[in-house]
Amino acid sequence: MVVAVLVLIVLQRTFHRKGDDSTQTALIFQQQVDSLRGEVNQNLKNTTDTFVMSLKNTTDLVLKSLQSTTESMNQHLSSVTSQLQNNTGQMGSRLDNAAKVIQDVQNKLGELGKATQEIKELGQSVSKLEEMLKAPKLRGGLGELLLEDLLKQVLPANAYDIQYTFRNGQTVDAIINTAGGKVPVDSKFPLENFRKMLDAKSDQEKKTAARLFKSDVKKHIDTIAEKYILPDEGTFDFALMYIPAENIYYETIIRDESFDEEDGLYSYATKRRVVPVSPNSFYAHLRVIALGLKGLQIERSAKEIFQNLELLSTELRKFNDVFETLGMQLNNAKNNYDKADKQLAGLTEKFKTVQSIPDAKEQNQLDAFSKESSQ
Mean pLDDT, contiguous 10-residue spans, the chain (375 residues): 50 51 68 76 79 80 81 80 78 78 80 73 52 52 82 87 90 88 87 76 82 86 92 91 82 56 75 89 85 74 78 82 85 85 80 64 54 53
230: three-class secondary structure by DSSP: coil
Torsion-angle region of residue 275: left (phi > 0), alpha (psi -120 to 50) or beta? beta
Identify the pLDDT of residue 132: 45
Please check whether residue 241 is in contact with residue 276, taking contact to mean a CB–CB distance below 8 angstroms: yes
Strand 171-177's sheet: what is its strand order? 160-165, 171-177, 182-187, 239-242, 274-277
Please check whether residue 188 is in contact with residue 220, taking contact to mean a CB–CB distance below 8 angstroms: yes
Q: Where are the alpha helices (H) located in the chain, listed in sequence order? A: 2-18, 23-133, 136-154, 192-199, 203-227, 246-253, 265-271, 279-356, 360-374
Identify the pLDDT of residue 127: 47
Stretch (H or E) spanning 173: strand 171-177
pTM of the predicted model, to two decimals?
A: 0.46
Please check whether residue 151 is in contact with residue 286, taking contact to mean a CB–CB distance below 8 angstroms: yes
Identify the pLDDT of residue 362: 53
Rounded to whole angstroms, the Cα distance separating 191 from 207 reads 16
Identify the pLDDT of residue 17: 47
